Each structure stands twice: as C-alpha cells, then as structure tokens.
Amino acid sequence: MHEEPLPAWSLPTDAVERIALPEAWPGEVTREWAWGGATGSGVTVCILDSGVEANHPLVGKVQKSVAISIEGDNVIVDEHDTAGDLCGHGTACAGVVRALAPECDLASVRVLGGGFSGSGAVLLEGLRWAVEQGYDVINMSLSTTKQKFASLLHQLADSAYFRRTMLVASAHNMPVESYPWRFSSVISVGSHDQTDPFAYFYNPTPPVEFFARGVDVEVAWTGGGRLVCTGNSFATPHISGIAALMLSKHRELTPFQLKSLLYLTASNVGGGE
Amino acid sequence: MSDELRSAVAAGVLGAEKNYRELLQSIVEVARAIFRAKASSIFLLDEESDELVFEAVAGEGSESLIGRRFPSSTGIAGFVLVSRQPLVIEDVLEDPRFSRETAESTGFVPKGLMAVPLLHEESALGVLEVLDRPSDARFTLQEMDLLGLFASQAAIALDLLQRARRAQATLADEGELAVLARLAQKLEERREEGGDALALLTVLERLVQ
C-alpha cells in the first residue's frame, strides 16, 4: 500500500532524508540562476481585481475568468464570467505580468462590480476562492480598512503561504491600517521611480518589503487601449511577474524560499551584479 | 444625553455644514493650485444609494457638477474607493471608453488624472481627484505623497461634514429628546438674555437627578 508522507511535525535523525530539498542553491545566487531562460511557462498567476480584458494585445489569452459576488448570505462564483474588465485596472496588472512572464497562465478573479457596499466581503470571498484553487501567485492591489475582516484575511494569507501560493499585495502609501498587505505571509510592494521593469529593491524597514517599478508605467487598459499610470498597484504585478519567472524555473520553491530568492537577487542586494 | 444628541447640539449650534463645505472647497482650490491642474473635485460616497456625489469642485465645470451622482462600482473613482489605492493616469494614449467614462464623471475629457481615496479610521468616505496637471511636468513620487497629505485633510473635512449632516437630521427630528437640542441651540444663540432660562433649567436638572 502506498503511504502518504506525514507532514514533518518533528524530525527524528533517521528522517532527515524525508525533507531533502529538491535542489541545492549555489553559493552565490544570481539572477541568471534564479530565472535565466524562464518564460513563466507552467505557472498560473491569478489577478484578483476588476476583471481582465481577454485578448488585449498586451495581455493575450486569459485561461480562466471568474466573478465573485454575494447575494444575501450566499457567495456566488460565476466560473465563466464574460463581463471583462469593469475599470481597466485588472487588465493593466495582467499586461505587466504578461510582459515579464510571457508564457504564464493568467486567471482573472473579478471582485468588483457589485458596488462599494459589501466590497470587503467580496474581496475576502474572492481571495478564499483563489487560495483554494492553489494558484502559484495571486496578484492583488485591493485592500480593506475594516477591522472585522482583518483576522479572516490573516488566516487566509497564512493558509496561502503554507499551500505554496504566493500572495503579492500592493502596500498603502497613506497613514491608515489596511489589510492584507501588512501581513508577513504576503509580499508587500511599494513603488520606485526607475524605468527598468527588472529593477527591484528589498526594504530592510518593513512593512513594505519590496519596491518595484511604479511610476509612469505604460499599461494595457480596456477597449484594447493603453495608458501611462503611476501607483503601487502597478509596482505589484512587476513582482508577481518576476515571481512567476522564478517559479517556472524552480517549481518547488515555497513562499519563504521565493521571498529569499527575491531578496538575494534584489537590485540593492546581489541583483545589481 | 446620547452621543448623537450631544454632537447634534454642538454641530447645530455652530452651523457646521456651511463651514465644512467651505473647508472642502478650499481644499480642492488649493489642490488645483499646487498641482497647477485644470480642475479638482471631491466625491462623497452615499452609502445608502451606493453612489458617488460631487461635493466640491474647483476649475472646469465647477458649479454645474455639485450634487451630481454616478455609480460607485465602476470607473476610476470607484476603483480607487474599493481598492483604497491612489491611482495616477498620465496620458490617455488610446482609450475611448476611458474618455467617455471620465467625461461623464468629471464634465470634460481630461488627458490625465490623479485619484486618491479619502479614508478616515476604518471608513472610505470618498475620493479626491485632480485633473490635467501640466503635461510637461513628469509625475514624481513626492507628488504622490503630497496627494496623500491632501487626501488626509480632505477626509477629515468630509467626516466632519457627514457628522454635521447627521446632527442636523437629528435636530430636525420630532423625537422627544430633540427638544433638548433645539433648546440648547436657542440658548446659545441668545447667550446674553438667557440667564433666567438657564437658572430654570438648572433647577430642572436637580429635580431630574
């Protein structure tokens, strides 16, 4: 009978082999080792946002489009959403990811469109659904300031972390408490003003952990259009795209290892080379 | 006296709504001047109808827009409100839908806009927008911070305005306790000649205790 390996709650000496890592990291980790030759192939990035316009020239194919809404006490998941993008923002994020990781799969989970009231609950349910699907990366610019959602979002973020789903979230640049970007189980992203899409910096004074390109970014928008935009929500998909590249080359990376790899290859650490 | 009644008295006495509206107006005027923009506006979220309402406008289209409403769920302002993230759009390269939507919600077609959520404690109260900065000036992260500072100020003003409106609604109410609020307001208005009435009320307070 085939035995499922038990989770490694403890580690007797004779079981060290059981948690052997699939590959050894080199003494000096370079960007070439981290994602050289990678295209994002085999990795799914979920865009939790306003929807994504499929077949936009800068986005291409969107493998799955889902819409989340709440009616009364029921969560409605429409797995064949045809509404596209209700704002343009989700399409912008998808285009940035696509530019960096041209062969990744994209999944759109739309959590906007039902009006402002109840949007916190829809965000929570959308994230829950996305985490359950086991996507490799979830890109989210959305956050809530409502305390009542904080603890549930925290549980979801931790659960994603242990299930090898990397949550990449836009940091807030205003003096308010909002979630889930502040949790340590996600990667939080702020903006720098350089033009290189592969320039990113580790921040030794969190809660913002990384800075990526977020000023004057040319992005896809609805109607096949393009805009030049600024905001942390455009920096975030840069990190999501780079994470997709790393994961497509090193499939076994846990979120902890992925964060470590981002750190080691950051422009202010070893990535300047 | 309930908190609501207490604030009703205070706000009613001060005739607050007018002052707070002036404060909001001053914020959009200053935002427009500092960013050298064509227009600036503040939208208040009406939670009951789930709509954004023009509360203050400086520059193009100013007078005619006040009070106009549009749905909170779509467009740039709606996204900024829900995501609680500021958004700056510099150049509309090729997007007819964007132009149409923003024209509907701003009164003219801007080439670019800055939108920032107005957050106070746990609540998202509305959105501040600044339209058409000079096209020769590249947007900087310092300006983003400046926009955030304006937003904090506008959010406080918007919160005060909403409190004042709730307070006035309470004052206008025919509820039993509203008489106290109205009485306090009258006494405040006639501070000079209210001595006897105050003495009477002091006796009444002792009796109630």
- Cα(B134)–Cα(B205) distance, rounded to whole angstroms? 62
Residue A120's pLDDT is 87
Query: Can you tell me the distance from the alpha carbon of A67 to that of A75, in angstroms, rounded to the nearest whole number?
Result: 10
Residue A245 falls inside a structural domain: yes
Interval A245-268: pLDDT, tens: 999 999 999 999 999 999 999 999
Please determine, for residue B94, whether its predicted confidence score (pLDDT) is greater than 60: no
Q: For residue A75, what pLDDT is reported?
A: 94
Instruction: Output the pLDDT for position A103.
Output: 98
Residue B7 is classified by DSSP as H
Say yes or no: domain B15-171 is CATH 3.30.450.40: yes
Cβ B98–A223 below 8 Å, yes or no?
A: yes
The first and second tokens of residue A269, run together, are: 């650490």
A6 located within any domain = no
- Whether residues A86 and B73 touch (CB distance < 8 A) is answered with yes
Give me the total of CB pairs closer than 8 Å, taking one residue from chain A and one from chain B: 139
ipTM: 0.85
Give residue limits of the domains in chain B: 15-171, 175-208
Write the pLDDT tens digit of every residue in B95-138.
555 656 666 666 667 788 899 999 988 888 999 999 988 877 77
The verdict on a CB contact (< 8 Å) between B93 and A115 is no
- Residue B93: which pLDDT band, with cuts at 50, 70 and 90? low
Q: A139 in a domain, yes or no?
A: yes
Nearest-neighbour CA in chain B from A184: distance (Å): 20
Query: Would the pLDDT of A67 be above 70?
Result: yes
CATH number, domain at A75?
A: 3.40.50.200
- Integer Cα distance of B164 and B17 in angstroms: 6
pLDDT band at residue B166 under the 50/70/90 scheme: confident
Q: How far is B46 from chain A (nearest CA, A)?
A: 10
Name the residue range of residue A164's domain. 37-264
Mean pLDDT across A197-203: 97
pLDDT tens by residue, A7-56: 667 888 888 888 888 888 998 999 999 999 999 999 999 999 999 999 99
Per-residue pLDDT tens digits for B20-45: 888 889 999 999 999 999 999 999 99
Looking at residue A20, its amino acid is A
Domain total of chain A: 1
Query: What pLDDT, on a 0 to 100 scale, did the predictor assign at position A173?
Result: 72
Helix, strand, or coil here: B113?
Answer: strand
Which has more pLDDT, A58 or B108? Answer: A58
Give A138 or A119, the one with higher predicted confidence.
A138
pLDDT digits (tens, 9 = 90+) for B51-82: 899 999 999 766 778 888 888 876 788 888 88
pLDDT at position B174 is 60
A86 within domain boundaries? yes
What average pLDDT does this structure show over A118-141?
94
pLDDT score at B14: 56
Chain-chain contact of B84 with A143 (C-beta, under 8 angstroms)? yes
